[in-house]
Amino acid sequence: MNRTLGQRILVALPYLWLLVLFLAPFLIVLKISLSDLAVSRPPYTPQFDLSGGWAGVKDFFAKLDFENYTFLAEDSLYINAYLSSLKIAGISTIITLLIGYSIAYALARSPRRWRPTLVMLVILPFWTSFLIRVYAWIGILKTEGLLNQLLLNIGVIAEPLTILNTNTAVYIGIVYSYLPFMVLPIYATLEKMDESLLEAAADLGSSRLAAFFLVTLPLSMPGILAGCFLVFIPAIGEFVIPDLLGGSDTLMIGKTLWVEFFSNRDWPLASAVAILLLLLLIVPIVLFQRQQMKQEIGT
Amino acid sequence: MTLPFAPWADPASEPLIELRNVTKRFGVFEAVKDLSLKIYEREFFAILGPSGCGKTTLMRMLAGFETPNAGEILLGGTDLTPIPPAKRPVNMMFQSYALFPHLTVEKNIAFGLKREGTPSDEIADRVVDIMRLVQLTDFAHRKPDQLSGGQRQRVALARALVKRPKLLLLDEPLGALDKKLRQETQFELMGIQESLGTTFVIVTHDQEEAMTVSSRIAVMRDGELAQVSTPTDLYERPDTRFVADFIGEVTILEGRVTTASRGGVGLAVLEGAEDLRVVTDATPPSGTTAWLALRPEKVSISRAKPEADNAVSGKVLDIAYLGNISTYHVELANGSIIKAQESNRARSDRRDITWEDAVWVAWEEDAGVLLLA
Ligand SMILES: Nc1ncnc2c1ncn2[C@@H]1O[C@H](COP(=O)(O)OP(=O)(O)OP(=O)(O)O)[C@@H](O)[C@H]1O
Ligand SMILES: [Mg+2]
């Protein structure tokens, strides 16, 4: 197929975009992760310098090594941080799924004329900055915060609960923040489901509960998968929520990365953490894309 | 000689389904009004009527998706009203088929049997049998979206049939099929119904379809039954102008009853012309307004005045050529139009009748039906 120059440029543009804005920074971070810590500006060595000629370039590559990665593998802190991130993201995803599915189900069963308004309400929080909303949770969850005052006043508890700066607060924060990403794809699949399928199931002898598990749930699976990936992937690398709501013992890789980068100013190690995080995320992302492909071929 | 199948004519036979004064309202709107009906075992019962007359509503009440506001529905003598759809020995084939898109043909068909807790080897046998019956064996492992419209329709039918319901409801089951496939499937349906002995209730828009498949037809109008009869009776002896007009082609002439003698009446339709003679059992007092319903195929057309009980002259207004037959629209002196049908065998005396010709249309006194409503 012969393409005009204009068409070639059009096709090349997104690749160019990816090259400049994704691949180049990735290579820079990869390079830093292979460097050594140094008291300099920027704080690592070797620095890429063409003035040394071919010998300089060879020397530069000779100085790169996997020291940082070996260090990460040896220090259990990092492995624990990765595992703990997976665990927190996994549990949050399951909680978000349970709550999100109920909300999406209720939305899809609500009177048609109410639906646009209700969907608006689900996405309304996006109109406020994410950071501010997470801050607001501090006000709600702290010892003398709104939640404790409410519970004390109605007499459910005698002593204020310690929620802020625990993993519980992190779960609350993640579930709250990512809920819309779960609700919307599930709602989309439930909403387009033909209601006569449920009547057919009833007609063929299934109870409402059986019809839910045999018909509604399998048919909403694409939405469930999309929602889970949309929550799980960003939750693994989440930094703001564990930093603001979590405690000193809340271990998440995003937070570790931040500490290495800004507190310890160990850019090479921080870069190695980032590269490993990326590799960790690639697995679910590839799975997600394959699922999407399958769905497109299916329909 | 075997007796014709006509349980409705036998006062001793018990109906399978009986609706007693059933009313269904949506808000203030009455979709079904005080409707009473008996359907007998092994019947192929058709419900026919214009759009919005309440056919689907009636079916949904039988299946249990709608609850009547008044009246009761009995199945084999027991009240169905408190029984939820899942527990009724009634299955419905949906107008939209409502096949489960995530299940294969085989699993769609087995769905209902699994819910009943039928043993799995029996399920397998029954599914295989029914798939053979509706010729779906080759498609057992396909998903619904990999099937043609006609194949999907057969899956829906098989899925409802395999449960061996006492009553099978079909809501416009063949609406999506082209004419040829529809006719084939109609015969398939009749074959299946005969071999399984299930009672079928079919809703259709298509009066030809209803005439072809059914033992009896109910014509509905605005939530009420206009007439319930065999196809022949409905066609030859409609009760009202609505039914006569709804089933097949018809000419309806309005007139005044002049003489009522034994077995027939005279009907004044045209000023100054002879009264029309109509055979009827009714004895309306003279002076009543009445209508004569005439089927076009019972009316002949000719240039010369024929020897017949009734003959009127007119002018050819239009000719509809349908290949095997032609329908002539003949305008009478008073402006009303009579349709006459002739088959197109090479009969030159009729074939040369053309537009604007002065002609005679004629029919026997027992050809038409006298209607009082
Ligand atoms: N759920 C409902 N709420 C309000 N009105 C309804 C509802 N279902 C049906 N109707 C009304 O009841 C009447 C009968 O509807 P129904 O679906 O039984 O018609 P139908 O005879 O099956 O028509 P068609 O041949 O077009 O399918 C219609 O006027 C329809 O608008
Ligand atoms: Mg309908």
Residue after which a domain boundary falls, among B223, B242, B261: B242
DSSP β-bridge partners for residue B199: B167
- Any bridge partners for residue B282, and if so which? none
Q: Which ligand is nearest to the CA of B170?
A: 2
**What are A211's two structure tokens?**
């019809």
Within this chain, do residues B112 and B232 fall inside the same structural domain, yes or no? yes
Residue ranges per structural domain of chain A: 66-298
Residue B355 one-letter amino acid:
W
pLDDT digits (tens, 9 = 90+) for B13-42: 889 999 999 999 999 999 999 999 999 999
Is B1 inside any structural domain?
A: no
Same domain, yes or no, for B43 and B132? yes
Query: What residue owns the CA closest to ligand 1's atom 28?
Result: B52
Q: What is the mean pLDDT of each run of 10 residues along chain B (373 residues)?
A: 74 90 94 94 92 92 94 91 90 91 95 92 93 89 91 90 90 79 82 86 88 91 93 90 89 84 78 80 81 89 85 87 85 87 67 79 86 84
DSSP type of residue B319 = E
Residue B203 tokens, joined: 């809703």
Task: For the domain made up of A66-298, give the CATH fold.
Answer: MetI-like fold (1.10.3720)
CA gap A221, A230 in Å, rounded: 14
Classify residue B2: in a domain, yes or no: no
Domains contained in chain B, number = 2
Which of B129, B86, B131 has the alpha carbon at shortest distance from B106? Answer: B131
Q: Which residues contact B180 (CB under 8 A, 6 or more apart)?
A: none
Question: What is the side-by-side strand order in the sheet with B70-75?
Answer: B29-39, B17-26, B70-75, B78-79
Q: Is-contact B210 B175, C-beta < 8 A?
A: no
**Does B362 share its domain with B319?**
yes
Are B79 and B223 part of one and the same domain?
Answer: yes
Any ligand 1 atom below 6 A from CB of B348: no
Same domain? For B99 and B218 the reply is: yes
> What confidence tens digit (pLDDT) does each residue in B288-303 have?
888 889 898 898 888 8
The CATH number of residue B213's host domain is: 3.40.50.300
pLDDT of the residue at B217: 94
Spatial separation of the C-alpha atoms in residues A168 and B306, rounded to whole Å: 101
CATH number for the domain that contains residue B303: 2.40.50.140
B50 lines ligand 1 (CB under 6 A): no
Of residues A202, A206, A218, nearest to B102 (C-beta): A218
Out of B22, B23, B24, B26, give the residue to mutate to test ligand 1, the one with the largest number of ligand atoms within 8 Å of its CB. B26
Residue carrying the six token digits 């003489």: B259
pLDDT tens for chain A, 299 residues long, are 567 888 888 888 888 988 888 889 999 999 999 988 888 888 888 887 777 778 888 888 888 888 889 988 888 888 899 999 999 999 999 999 999 999 999 999 999 999 999 999 999 998 999 999 999 999 999 988 899 999 999 988 888 889 899 999 999 999 999 999 999 999 999 999 998 999 999 999 999 999 999 999 999 999 999 999 899 989 998 999 999 999 888 889 988 898 888 988 899 999 999 998 888 888 878 887 887 787 666 54
Neighbours of B45 (CB within 10 A): 26
Distance of CA A155 to the CA centre of its chain: 37
Chain A hits for B101, CB-CB cut-off 8 Å, are: 219
Q: Residue A156: which H helix or E strand, with range?
A: none
Q: Which two tokens stand for residue A215?
A: 């018909």
- Whether B313 is covered by a domain: the verdict is yes
CA dist B328 to A67, B212, B295, B308, B339, Å?
A: 100, 26, 12, 19, 6
Does one domain contain both B46 and B185? yes
Q: In terms of Cα–Cα distance, which of B213, B142, B201, B128 is closest to B170?
A: B201
Measuring CA to CA, how many Å separate B266 from each of B3, B291, B292, B365? 37, 11, 11, 10
pLDDT score at B1: 46
Domain housing B103:
7-242
Calculate ∠ Cα A216-A219-A224, nearest 5°: 95
Q: What is the dihedral of CA A270, A276, A282, A283, to 10 degrees?
A: -150
Q: Which of A190, A193, A204, A214 is the best substitution to test chain B (most B C-beta atoms within 10 A)?
A: A204
Same domain, B100 and B215: yes
Residues with Cβ within 8 Å of residue A286, at least 6 apart in sequence: none
Q: How many CA atoms lie within 13 A of A239 on its CB side?
A: 11
Phi/psi class of residue A143: alpha, beta or left (left: φ > 0; alpha: ψ in -120 to 50)?
A: alpha
The token pair that represents B237 in the structure block? 């002896």
The C-alpha atoms of residue B46 and residue B200 are separated, in whole angstroms, by: 8
- The one-letter code for the residue type at A7 is Q
